[in-house]
């Protein structure tokens, strides 16, 4: 491989990326429905696109609940506003009835689907993966995540891009010219033993105020150098461990030269569920294909994936393996998974078959048990819509109960 070791890259996108805007609206609707009825059945998709003088938000899906139906249009608008879409020149003005139209195509859940779920069966067929590893555990600021390093760092960058935009105007690090839409990408280099050794490349793309160049007499070259300097100082150096950076780390900010207004839905259409790798393990762990956002926890696409991650994280945290991936598969209307597979990629400290036995004995992967054990019938899903569903800090980033390690479960797995 020449002078470079093995490389692995993961990306993330900001909360204002059009696809994440859609995820946020869909999850805000899930939370609103669960506020009304904890047993609400929700499967809602969102599409956004700004065309000429009008932004469009389209809501479609199925909802069944016992109680007053939430005001879906208001939820969609308020969510977009909270993310920062309050100006048509940026990409969308969700405050304006004339410049932003909301269409609704939400119906009642089909009776046959409801019947199977009401018997505590899975809300659909499908397969899900959970993954955990020790890559984050050598760094104090990342301990406890048990998560792929490239995914962890790319997510930290996009969350930091949101923070610098939302800081008070007099706070150190506030970047008033940063817009909601953006991306990050981190490439990690591994040594011969397979351990992360350094950050090879960092890429940031961030939408900014089109008038920023006016500070430099219209010179776009000076504007880019300013953007690079501020992003490196207030985002990259703040979010990434200095021990992983060196003089050879390549940093690219706005590689096209400019990412100026308009952005967001003006330049790209957004759809719910289109960033499933960003949502999970950055490509290092496999993905079953089902999206999470917009779905209540009876949908095993969501709850099954959370349970698989929870179990895999416990296996690694218990010291039974350095890497663990758990696959679950379900059939609609049936409670127990049709298959459970545990894979440790040759990193286990005991036979893999024994780990599988302990996992099957310790965890109940029926939808009803998952929902009760992880307390999923609460409006806790909006924080998951951006920044990743896994590798988060529970109680700080949001509830994220599937990230909580339980000592009794660790002990059961260790003692066998």
pLDDT in tens, the chain (416 residues): 344 679 999 999 999 999 999 999 999 999 999 999 999 999 999 999 999 999 999 999 999 999 999 999 999 999 999 999 999 999 999 999 999 999 999 998 765 555 555 556 677 789 999 999 999 999 999 999 999 999 999 999 999 999 999 998 888 899 999 999 999 999 999 999 999 999 999 999 999 999 999 999 999 999 999 999 999 999 999 999 999 999 999 999 999 999 999 999 999 999 999 999 999 999 999 999 999 999 999 999 999 999 999 999 999 999 999 999 999 999 988 899 999 999 999 999 999 999 999 999 999 999 999 999 999 999 999 999 999 999 999 999 899 999 999 999 999 999 98
> Is 259 one of the annotated active-site residues of the chain?
yes
One DSSP character per residue, 128-184 reads EEEEEESGGGGSGGGTT----HHHHHHHHHHHHHHHHHHS-TTSTT--TTEEEEEEE
User: For residue 83, with 0-12 CB atoms within 10 Å meaning exposed, 13-18 middle and 19 or more buried, which class applies?
Assistant: buried
Residues paired with residue 43 on neighbouring β-strands, in sequence order: 62, 295
CB count within 10 Å of CB 78 equals 15
Q: Is the pTM of this model over 0.85?
A: yes
Nearest 5°: phi and psi at 139? -120, 120
> Is 215 one of the annotated active-site residues of the chain?
no
> Is 275 one of the annotated active-site residues of the chain?
yes
Active-site residue among 183, 234, 313, 314? 183
Look up tokens 């302990």; give the residue: 358
CATH architecture of 6-12+149-262: 2-Layer Sandwich (3.30)
> Is 269 one of the annotated active-site residues of the chain?
yes
pLDDT of 119: 52
Q: Which of 216, 217, 215, 228 is nearest to 259 (CA)?
A: 228
> Is 247 one of the annotated active-site residues of the chain?
no
What residue ranges do the domains of the chain occupy?
A: 6-12+149-262
Q: Which of 20, 41, 19 is nearest to 30 (CA)?
A: 41
Active-site residue among 77, 274, 302, 358? 274
> Is 274 one of the annotated active-site residues of the chain?
yes
Give the gyration radius of the chain's Cα atoms: 22
> Is 268 one of the annotated active-site residues of the chain?
yes
Distance CA 70, CA 337 (A): 33
Active-site residue among 35, 37, 62, 137? 62
Active-site residue among 8, 17, 24, 213? 17
User: For residue 368, with 0-12 CB atoms within 10 Å meaning exposed, 13-18 middle and 19 or more buried, which class applies?
Assistant: middle
> Is 17 one of the annotated active-site residues of the chain?
yes
> Is 296 one of the annotated active-site residues of the chain?
no
> Is 122 one of the annotated active-site residues of the chain?
no
Active-site residue among 301, 322, 325, 343? 301
pLDDT of 43: 97
* 262 upstream amide cis, omega within 30 of 0: yes
3-state class (DSSP) for residue 203:
strand
């Amino acid at each position: 491989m020449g002078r470079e070791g093995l490389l692995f890259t993961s990306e993330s996108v900001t909360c204002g990326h059009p696809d994440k805007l859609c995820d946020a609206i869909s999850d805000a609707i899930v939370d609103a429905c669960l506020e009304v009825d904890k047993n609400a059945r929700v499967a809602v998709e969102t599409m956004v696109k700004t065309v000429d003088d009008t932004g469009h938000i389209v809501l479609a899906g199925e909802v069944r609940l016992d109680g007053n139906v939430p005001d879906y249009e208001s939820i969609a608008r308020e969510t977009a506003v909270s993310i920062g879409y309050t100006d048509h020149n940026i990409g969308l003005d969700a405050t304006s009835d004339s410049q932003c139209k909301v269409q609704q195509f939400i119906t009642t859940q089909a009776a046959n689907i409801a019947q199977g779920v009401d018997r505590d069966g899975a809300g659909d067929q499908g397969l899900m993966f959970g993954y955990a590893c020790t890559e984050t555990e050598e760094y104090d600021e990342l301990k406890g995540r048990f998560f792929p390093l490239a995914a962890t760092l790319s997510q930290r960058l996009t969350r930091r891009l949101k923070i610098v935009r939302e800081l008070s105007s007099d706070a150190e690090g506030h970047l008033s010219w940063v817009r909601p839409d953006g991306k990050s990408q981190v490439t990690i280099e591994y040594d011969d033993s397979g351990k992360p050794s350094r950050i090879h490349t960092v890429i940031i793309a961030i939408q900014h105020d089109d008038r920023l160049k006016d500070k430099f007499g219209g010179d776009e070259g000076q504007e880019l150098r300013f953007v690079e300097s501020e992003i490196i100082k207030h985002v990259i150096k703040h979010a990434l461990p200095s021990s992983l950076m060196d003089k050879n780390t390549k940093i690219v900010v706005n590689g096209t030269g400019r990412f100026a207004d308009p952005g967001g839905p003006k330049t790209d259409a957004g759809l719910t569920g289109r960033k499933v790798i960003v949502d999970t393990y950055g490509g290092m762990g496999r993905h079953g294909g089902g999206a999470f956002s917009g779905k209540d926890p009876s949908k095993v696409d969501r709850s099954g994936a959370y349970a698989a991650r929870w179990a895999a994280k416990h296996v690694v945290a218990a010291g039974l393996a350095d890497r663990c991936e758990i696959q679950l598969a379900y059939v609609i209307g049936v409670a127990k998974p049709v298959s459970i597979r545990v894979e440790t990629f040759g990193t286990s400290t005991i036979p893999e078959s024994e780990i599988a036995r302990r996992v099957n004995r310790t965890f109940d992967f029926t939808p009803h048990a998952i929902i009760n054990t992880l307390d999923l019938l609460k409006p806790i899903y909006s924080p998951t819509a951006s920044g990743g569903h896994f590798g988060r800090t529970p109680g700080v980033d949001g509830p994220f109960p599937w990230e909580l390690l339980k000592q009794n479960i660790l002990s059961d797995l260790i003692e066998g």
